Chains A and B, each alone.
Chain A
Amino acid sequence: MNTLLAICVGVLYSAAIYLILRRSIVKLVIGLVLLSNASNLLIFTASGLTREAPPLIPEGESMPAIVADPLAQALILTAIVIGFGVLAFAVVLIRRAYEVVEADDMDQMKGTDT
């Protein structure tokens, strides 16, 4: 299962990087979203996969049996929410940039004064 998921992560990264190398600024943003998904999945896979054992401790017990890694989950959880903030920021940024430069082409945004 790990192997399959690792390949999936590779596919996500490839798609994300292909997109952020494009000149179209909208594609850049879509690439960024894919990149954050890929990274979350990477951390998740690397922390080890466990089926049907969420890191919840049954009532009355203090020490559970084997559960999934909670630390990776906590990291991913905040990363997802931050990813949303970054996405919002990026989307608004490119929208403003588009209004000012009136071009979707990254190559026309290379000057420092535009």
Chain B
Amino acid sequence: MKPVPEHSLILRVTGLFILPLLILFSLFLLLRGHNEPGGGFIAGLVAASAVALHMFFTSVEAARRMIAVDPRDLIGWGLLIAIASGLAPILSGRPFMEARWIEMTVPAFGLVKAGTPLLFDLGVYLVVTGTVLAILFSLAEDDVQ
């Protein structure tokens, strides 16, 4: 894709506003995924689409700057988190990947349940986002050359 500075100003500016919103929305989807439609896969795809849109409005470099991390690192961290969530139960002598939950009361939220599956979902989210972005970025950069 060519770097196109002559892209519509309106698109670029709206893009700047929409991107954070979409990322926030993806986090929302991730967190509510255990109870309502959503979850790591969907949230990851939403986040990736948001950045991809931004890439179209501006340029690959701008999109890379915007997310500040290399998508390849996201893949690595995601896999690491997913495995770590599976290893956690081993520490307490349970089989690999068995879910462990803790309940705690957080002020203003009430009773919150946190467990290794949520951590695992976060890993999925990062891997999906990282994979899609890594592929799209490198394709777009390859195009420029």
Q: Mark each residue of chain A from 77 to 103: 1 if its CB lies under 8 Å from any CB of chain B, else 0.
A: 110010011001000100000000000
Is B6 close to A, CB under 8 A?
Answer: no
Q: Is the CB of A88 within 8 A of B36?
A: no
Q: Name the residue on B nearest A57 (C-beta).
A: B35
Q: Is the CB of A81 within 8 A of B45?
A: yes
Is B37 close to A, CB under 8 A?
Answer: yes
Q: Mark each residue of chain B from 123 to 145: 1 if its CB lies under 8 Å from any CB of chain A, else 0.
A: 00000100110010001000000
Residues of A within 8 A of B132 (CB): 84
Q: Is the CB of B41 within 8 A of A77?
A: yes
Is A56 close to B, CB under 8 A?
Answer: yes
Question: Does more than half of chain A's interface fall in helix, strand or loop, or is it mixed?
Answer: helix
Interface size bucket, A side? Answer: 10 to 19
Known: A78-B41, A88-B135. Contact between A56 and B36, CB under 8 A?
Answer: yes
Partner of B37, one of A56, A59, A88: A56
A14 CB, min distance to chain B CBs, angstroms: 29
Chosen A-B contacts, 17 in total, with CB atoms closer than 8 Å, are A54-B37, A56-B35, A56-B36, A56-B37, A59-B35, A77-B41, A78-B41, A81-B41, A81-B45, A81-B128, A84-B132, A85-B131, A85-B135, A88-B135, A88-B139, A92-B135, A92-B139
- Residues of B that sit less than 8 Å from A by CB: 35-37, 41, 45, 128, 131-132, 135, 139
